Amino acid sequence: MSEFEFLDRVTIGQYVPGVSPLHRMDPRARLIAALLLLTAITFAPRPAGLGLALLVVMTLVTLTDLPWRFLLRGLLPPLPFLLFLAVLQVFFNAQENQPPLVAWWGVVQIYASDLIVAGMLVLRFCVLILGISLLSLVTSTSEMIYGVDALLKPLRWLRIPTQDLTMMAQVTLRFIPFMALAAERIVKAQASRGVDWSAKGGNLIKRARRILPLLVPLFVSSLGKAERMALAMDARGYGSTRRRTMMMSTRLMWTDTAAVIACAGLAAAIILL
C-alpha cells in the first residue's frame, strides 16, 4: 500500500456485496439493530460493557466473511488522534482519582483510574468505528435509503420532508470516500511539487503545519464538489416530483425480529454490565 492510497484506509461509506446473514437481514431490522448497539456502545459506562460490545462486533464481523485486514485498516487514520485524546484523558479527566498510584513525577500523578478512563476512550471509539464500518460495508445505498425512509416514515406525518432527510444521509455517506479521494489527489499534487509527505517525526506543530496546506484545498474542493453534485442531481430531475420509486420492498421475517430483540438485549447488557 502506498502512502497515497487514502481510500483503502477508509472503511466507512463503502459497500461490499455479499450473501452473509448480515447482508440478508431486512434493511430496516439491520438499521434498528445497528442503532441500538451503536447507542449502547456510545454510552456504555463501564469497561465490562465495552468488552462485551467488542465481542459482539467481532462476532458479527466473523459472520460476514469480510477480511479483517480491511476492517482494521479503517482504524488506522484516526488512531493518532485517539491516542492524543487518550493522553489528554490521562492527565485531565474528571473522574475521582482512585489508588493505586501507578506513576508520579512531582505533582503529576497517574492513577490506575486515569489509565482505565483513557483505555475506555480508545476502545469505545475503535468499537464504534468498527461497528459503523461494518454497517456500511454490508448495506448498499438502496438498502440504506429504504431502511432510513421506513424508519423516518412516522415523521412524514408531522410534514417533515423525510425524503430529503434520507437523501442527506445518503449524500453524507457518499462524501466520506470522496473526501479520501480528494485528499489523495491533493497530496499527490503537492508531493509532485516537492512537499515531503512521508517525512516522519517533527513535533506536533510541525506536523500540523504540514496538514494545513492539505486542509484548505480539501475544504474548498469539497464545497465545489457538493455544489456540482447538487447540480448533477438537479439535472437528473431530483425534486421535480415528490414521487420517488422505492426499488425494494421486503417482508420482515421472524429471524429479523429475533435478531433485533437479541441486539436490544445485548445493548441493554452493554449499558448495564
Partner 1 sequence: MHMTDSIEIRDLHFSYSDGHTALRGINLTVKPGEKLALVGPNGAGKSTLLLHLNGILQGKGVVRISGLDVVPANLGRVRALVGLVFQSPDDQLFSPTVFDDVAFGPIYQGLPPEEVRRRVDFALAAVHMQDYVHRVSHHLSVGEKKRIAIATVLSMQPEVLVLDEPSAGLDPRARRSLIHLLAELPQTMIVATHDLALVRDLLPRMVVMDHGEVVADDATGRILEQGDLLAEHGLEKP
Q: Which residues of 36-68 are buried (b: 16+ CB within 10 A; e: fewer)?
A: bbbebbeebeeeebbbbbbebbeebbeebebee
Is there binding between residue 236 and partner 1 (CB under 8 A)? yes
Residue 234 interacting with partner 1 (CB under 8 A) = yes
Count residues binding partner 1 (CB under 8 A).
Answer: 33
Query: Can you tell me which of 228, 255, 258, 265 binds partner 1, judged by CB under 8 A?
Result: 228
Q: Which of residues 78-107 bind partner 1 (CB under 8 A)?
A: none
C-alpha cell read off for 253: 421475517
Whole-angstrom distance between the N-terminal and C-terminal Cα of the chain? 40
Residues 150-179 contacting partner 1, CB under 8 A: 171, 173-174, 177-178
What's the closest the beta carbon of residue 228 comes to partner 1, in angstroms? 4
Answer yes or no whether residue 128 interacts with partner 1 by CB under 8 A. no
Q: Which stretch binds partner 1 (CB under 8 A): 27-35, 75-83, 234-242, 260-268?
A: 234-242
Task: Select 13 or 49, whichever has its Cβ closest to partner 1.
Answer: 13
Measured from the CB atom, the residue of 24 and 209 that comes closer to partner 1 is 24
Q: Any alpha helices (H) in the chain, and if so which ranges?
A: 21-24, 27-43, 47-64, 68-73, 79-91, 112-138, 141-156, 162-192, 204-235, 254-272
221 near partner 1 (CB under 8 A): no
Tell me if 189 contacts partner 1 by CB under 8 A: no
> Which of 159, 203, 247, 251 contacts partner 1 by CB under 8 A?
247
**What gap in Å lies between CA 17 and CA 11, rounded to an integer?**
14
Shortest distance in whole angstroms from residue 175 CB to partner 1: 9
The rounded distance, in Å, linking the Cα atoms of 183 and 168 is: 22
Asked if 64 and 23 touch (Cβ cutoff 8 Å), the reply is yes
> CB of 230: closest distance to partner 1 in angstroms?
9
**Which DSSP string corresponds to 189-215?**
HHHHTT--SS-----HHHHHHHHHHHH
Grid cell for residue 64: 460476514
The answer to whether 214 contacts partner 1 (rule: CB under 8 A) is no
Segment 5 to 24, residues that bind partner 1, using CB under 8 A: 13-15, 17
Which residue is listed with cell 499527490?
188
Interface positions with partner 1 (CB under 8 A): 13-15, 17, 140-142, 171, 173-174, 177-178, 181, 225, 228-229, 231-241, 243-248
